[in-house]
């Protein structure tokens, strides 16, 4: 399933399908982007990051795509599992100086067994 | 090793009371951050410490909020004259260094503050 932007705060996908979560960031000066996963009752957990000199980065079952032209970020999760159910936040920051991180609103991913 | 810990996990207080929220960062982490997260929202930056000093407190909403980190390790977020609008989850994060290249922030589980 695909979530276009953050206007749909909840994304439901079947177990085993691929998930795509989208995010629009706001600050053109941001040069570092992070996806966090937050499970109920826990703090955000780092998933994957990408620098602005890249347009794609892959991790284990996750891929982040960055389109600086339209200030768009996406997180792709392959073969979604029940343990992937959580709220996902994109976040932006810049590498100069200390790292004040600005979080987006978040998308809730529900995996249907 | 131990991650970031926060105490208490839940705090219920009455409007007008004073509260203190504690954060124990990962040992050796120089940078410490406080965030506030309202229901259904992303974490919102409050304050950042580099060592003992508050390098950026621009996110503190007003002068009822104050944070300290006297020995460069444990930090306490203090809220005076609490208001119902202060109800939220207060998250603490730490990272090994600050400045230059990005260092991953490790988050604690948060303290859920409810002001009645």
What is the pLDDT at residue B29?
A: 92
Q: Are A97 and B99 inside 8 Å of each other by CB?
A: yes
Which tens digit of pLDDT belongs to each residue from A23-68?
999 888 888 999 999 998 899 999 999 999 999 999 999 999 999 9
B contact residues 19-48, partner A, Cβ 8 Å cutoff: 31, 33, 40-45, 48
Calculate how close chain B gets to A18, using CA atoms only, in Å. Answer: 24
Residue A4's pLDDT band (boundaries 50, 70, 90)? very low
What is the pLDDT at residue A8?
A: 45
Residues of chain B found within 8 Å of residue A97, distances taken between Cβ atoms: 99
Closest CA to A99 of B68, B52, B70, B49: B49
Q: Mean pLDDT over all residues of chain B?
A: 93
Q: How many C-beta neighbours within 10 Å does residue B16 have?
A: 10
Which tens digit of pLDDT belongs to each residue from A68-94?
999 999 999 999 999 999 999 999 988
User: What is the residue-wise DSSP string for A18-83?
Assistant: -EEEEEE---TT--EEEEEEE-TTS--EEEEEEETT-SEEE-SSEEEEEETTTTEEEEEESS--GG
pLDDT at B101 over 70: no
């Amino acid at each position: 399933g695909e979530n276009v932007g953050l206007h749909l705060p909840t994304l439901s996908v079947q177990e085993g399908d691929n998930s795509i979560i989208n995010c629009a960031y706001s600050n053109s000066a941001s040069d570092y982007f992070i996806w966090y996963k937050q499970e109920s009752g826990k703090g955000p957990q780092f998933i994957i990051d990408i620098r602005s000199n890249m347009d794609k980065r892959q991790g284990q079952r996750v891929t982040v795509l960055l389109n600086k032209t339209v200030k768009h970020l996406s997180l792709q999760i392959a073969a979604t599992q029940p343990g992937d159910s959580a709220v996902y936040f994109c976040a932006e920051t810049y590498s100069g100086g200390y790292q004040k991180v600005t979080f987006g609103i978040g998308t809730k991913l529900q995996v249907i067994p | 090793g131990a991650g970031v810990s926060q105490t208490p996990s839940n705090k219920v207080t009455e409007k007008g009371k004073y509260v203190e929220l504690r954060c124990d960062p990962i040992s050796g982490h120089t940078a410490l951050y406080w965030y506030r997260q309202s229901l259904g929202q992303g974490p919102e930056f409050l304050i950042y410490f580099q060592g003992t000093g508050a390098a950026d407190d621009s996110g503190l909403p007003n002068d009822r909020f104050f944070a300290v980190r006297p020995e460069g390790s444990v930090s306490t977020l203090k809220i005076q004259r609490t208001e119902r609008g202060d109800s939220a989850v207060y998250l603490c994060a730490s990272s090994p260094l600050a400045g230059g290249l990005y260092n991953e922030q490790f988050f604690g589980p948060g303290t859920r503050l409810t002001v009645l």
